[in-house]
Amino acid sequence: MTTDDDRATELLDAVVARDLATVARLGGLPPALPAEWVVTRLGGDPEAYVRFFLGDPVQEAFWSPTSPAGFDRLKVWFRDDAVVKLEGEWPELDPAADSVLGPPERRFEDRHEDVWASVGVALTRQEPGGRFTALSVFAPTTPDEYGRDLAAHEEYREWD
């Protein structure tokens, strides 16, 4: 896949527009998108990034911030310079926006996150039925692999 791939561009545009139907139709994030290209395309600085962790057990990952309209912030998560997840914080979504996705394949009750792993989408709410706090898009996977490799962590500390 090249960085000028029409599907990758359409997918990024759909994420920024918070168009869940198009994200699902496209099947989530294309694999192996270069982090620098995605961050630049979303208006961020590819030299600005933070080291953190995803998954359970936790695995090292990095994220670069971008700030498209409709989100407080959109994190471009990557490992080995390939994007693994886009995570938009406080997306401006209609309360019933998830209805276009059908029933979730998995619900992580502890963090109020619904996952549609086969189409690469996860939505987190403040509380069940409450306002959406995150929209995540990733390459299609299984619910178990999502939890193992990509699930978010609110807090994680490394101890010496």
Q: To the nearest whole number, what is the mean pLDDT of the chain?
A: 91
Closest by CA position to 46, among listed 69, 62, 61: 62
Residue 4's pLDDT band, with cuts at 50, 70 and 90, is very low
Reported as a single tens digit per residue, the pLDDT across 26-80 is: 999 998 899 999 999 999 999 999 999 999 899 999 999 999 999 999 999 999 9
The number of residues in the chain equals: 160
Cβ-based neighbours of 72, under 8 Å, separated by 6 or more: 89, 90
Confidence (pTM):
0.91
φ/ψ of 76, rounded to 5, equals -100, 105
